[in-house]
Amino acid sequence: MNSLRDEVFDRQLEVALEELLAPEDVPIHDPITTNDNPRPWHGLAFVALAATVVIAVALLATRGNDAETTEPAQSAAETDTEGEALAPEQDPVWPEATLPQLLEALDKNGTRDRAEAELVRRGAPAADAVARLALALDPETPRARERLASQLRVLRGLRQHAAHHAPALMEHVADWPVGGCADLLKTVAVLAPWSPHELEMPKFEMSFNEVKLDSKVMARGFEIPELNALHDATTMFSGRKHVRPDQSIPRLIELLESENGYARIAALEMLGTRGADAMPAVPAIEACLSSEDHPAINKAEWVNRQSVRIDQASSTPEIHATAAEVLLGLAPDTPRAVLAWRHRLAGTGTIKRRAQAATRIGQLFLSAQLSEEHRAEVLEALEEAALASDTRLAAAAITALGMAGKGRKSAVATLKRIMRGENERLRKLADAALRQVIR
């Protein structure tokens, strides 16, 4: 009898979540099973089944018009605080557009973000087309700097698909003022690990008044933030060049303990492109995601005309974000993947991806092998998402909170707060979830 109830519970939840996310065509996977815990839901009290039926009915109701929200277009890829490209969205953003149409849209303010995201999704053909634009762009043309920045964001998002253009981009560095030069060098640094060519850093001499490249003055009259960006791009290149496309999985795992934060990030990204071959690295990737002890990254800050101060910034947020996306690509259903889903839930991705993350947290949480500290982090992310203004995200988080938040006082407070709100559908969800949390 328990087995039958478990089957019904699973199907009710699955159907409800399919309906919740149907406008975005998000795939709903089968409940997670492991050898140690063949059915995470096993042994749930019958009252939990009744509560889930209520949740399912309420979730089905969220297909009303007010459940739909307009999502802002994403840029070339999800980004961290440094603006560095991470794993791109996998779903079509602008599927009907041809490549020439996307390249034209890339040059317009109103369509640039959508064009960037779709070009990143299209891979190698887009990489060749965008690289040709960037290499042919004259720095003297109107809006050249703005156009170059957009093109380079796409190339950074394309990673290995654009890597063979890195040598040509490096040769183009000297043609641009300091701001464009910094952007080009940053792009070469991002692509370098996949480049089949050994790339050498040009010799820069930087001062408050001028920048020299290979002993020749290349710029005067620039802004100080541009000078700082150029210094930081050289630092990034120096770290990332340690990762090469022919390195073995064991060597890449070793680089996850490098003293250079940029080398760790590049090694994670490389592992993310190795597919099933990288599965032996999953424990090391999980360790990167759990650890707070990652090396600092040097950042330049000019303080006056004579000197520059080197500050140290933590690489931990960027390493965590990168490790999370790589882990979700390799092993999204492992117990510790809950931490990766938490990063996606709390990130800056689309509502669809964040709602899907909340769903997966609910499905995985009961079997997750987490410390109390990490369990608290996951639940805090769910509580915050449950209060989101977007109905779909809030609904997914409320449902997951009902499954994961048993006995947690702050979860009870969050759900009671939602029950006092104006959204009737969310109130019903919160009521059903609260019954599970306090049972």
Return the HEC string of 201-267.
CCCEEECCCEEEECCEEEEECCCHHHHHHHHHHHHHHHHHCCCCCCCCHHHHHHHCCCCCHHHHHHH
pLDDT at 43: 36
323 and 354 share a domain? no
Handedness of CA 170, 174, 180, 183 (dihedral sign): positive
pLDDT at 305: 64
pLDDT at 348: 82
- State the Cα–Cα distance between residues 213 and 364, nearest whole angstrom: 53
Flag whether 399 is in a domain. yes
Q: Please list the residues that pair with 298 across neighbouring strands.
A: 312
What is the amino acid identity at position 182?
Answer: A
Count the Cβ atoms, other than its own, within 10 Å of residue 38: 9
286 and 369 share a domain? no
pLDDT at 201: 87
187 and 284 share a domain? yes
Of 296, 328, 360, the position where a domain reaches its end is 328
309 and 371 share a domain? no
170 and 58 share a domain? no
pLDDT at 405: 86
DSSP secondary structure of 106-121:
TTSTTTHHHHHHHHHH
pLDDT at 159: 95
246 close to 261: Cβ distance less than 8 angstroms: no
Closest by CA position to 262, among listed 292, 290, 299, 229 = 299
Flag whether 309 is in a domain. yes
pLDDT at 91: 58
| Total domains, the chain | 2
317 and 366 share a domain? no
Flag whether 231 is in a domain. yes
CA distances in angstroms from 154 to 139, 232, 272, listed in the order given: 19, 20, 18
Greatest C-alpha distance within the chain: 81
Of 297, 328, 359, the position where a domain reaches its end is 328
174 and 271 share a domain? yes
Domain that holds residue 257: 164-328
- State the Cα–Cα distance between residues 71 and 316, nearest whole angstrom: 29
391 and 322 share a domain? no
- State the Cα–Cα distance between residues 204 and 179, nearest whole angstrom: 14
426 close to 395: Cβ distance less than 8 angstroms: yes
330 close to 272: Cβ distance less than 8 angstroms: yes
Flag whether 47 is in a domain. yes
Flag whether 137 is in a domain. no
Report the C-alpha dihedral over residues 418, 424, 428, 429, rounded to 10 degrees: -60
For residue 394, the domain's CATH number is 1.25.10
Average pLDDT per run of 10 along the chain, which is 439 residues long?
Answer: 40 45 37 34 37 43 39 41 41 84 94 94 96 96 96 97 96 91 96 93 83 80 85 94 95 97 97 96 96 92 77 94 96 91 91 94 86 90 96 96 89 96 96 92
299 and 364 share a domain? no
Q: For 39, list phi and psi in degrees, rounded to 5.
A: -145, 100
Which residues neighbour 327 within 8 Å (Cβ) at sequence distance 6 or greater? 282, 285, 286, 289, 334, 336, 337, 340
Flag whether 156 is in a domain. no
Burial class (CB in 10 A: 0-12, 13-18, 19+), 131: buried
Of 328, 362, 387, the position where a domain reaches its end is 328
Closest by CA position to 279, among listed 254, 255, 258, 249 = 249
Q: Which residue has the tokens 């209060």?
A: 387
265 and 314 share a domain? yes
Flag whether 121 is in a domain. no
Classify residue 26 by its DSSP letter: -
215 and 287 share a domain? yes
284 and 383 share a domain? no
Flag whether 85 is in a domain. no
